[in-house]
Amino acid sequence: MKSNKMVDFDNLQEKIAYRFRDLQLLTQALTHRSFLHENNDGGEDNERLEFLGDSVVEVVISHLLLNRFPHLTEGGLSKTRAELVKESTLASLAREVRLGAALRLGRGEDETGGRDKNSILAGGLEALMAAVYLDGGYKEAFRVIEDLYAPRLSEMKGAIEDKDYKTRLQEYTQRHLNDTPHYIVTDEEGPDHAKTFEVIISIGGKAYGKGKGKSKKEAEQRAAEEALRSLQEN
């Protein structure tokens, strides 16, 4: 019969859709230093793997962002990556795969809620990704990390692309037309709690795009999208 910890290990491997060939790597990735302080089993804690995992996650996320957001500037890419690799995001991902249940913690750390501490969960996830990388190579690490982040990347894609139309339009017009777009509200309908706005974009005195929305910001974004498409097509 398997021990409870081995069952937790099996569940975690199922959650990340990766089966380790070297279980010692998985064990190390899930061993917090507090465990070794109380149990001298000759093993190693996960801090060195955490160091490597930090870089593995960053390079995979950088690769994914370059592929998925081709129009995002370097500054935008950096800001988005920082949001995706920050401690709270990593801890949230760790909770989704129930990593906390598989951690090897000292009794004191366990009794004070260590299995749900952001710092321990985030470090454990980074160590786990390093272990996948060492056990299966970059291709497998890329697949596992991409699957983990897929819902977040999908959520961000629409928001980033929508938010970025005005920036992209301004960069385009400054580079190609030596001018900047002007947003003009041409219509405003409905009661205060349910208004609809219409905005046109003027560049060099010529109208290039029109958009409608439930706020001026939304109408501007839609107008910018239409203007950018028109300019690029012509």
Q: Which helix (H) or strand (E) holds 198?
A: strand 196-203
CA atoms within 13 A of residue 166's CA, in its CB half-sphere:
15
With both helix axes pointing from N to C terminus, report the angle between 118-136 and 138-176 in degrees, rounded to the nearest 10. 110
Alpha carbon 192 to chain centroid distance?
36
CB 136 within 8 A of CB 18: yes
Catalytic residue among 8, 54, 164, 226: 54
Q: Is 96 assigned a catalytic role? A: no
Q: How many residues does the chain have?
A: 234
Catalytic residue among 50, 109, 126, 225: 126
Q: Is 147 assigned a catalytic role? A: no
Give the single-character DSSP code of 98: T
Q: Which residues are catalytic?
A: 54, 126
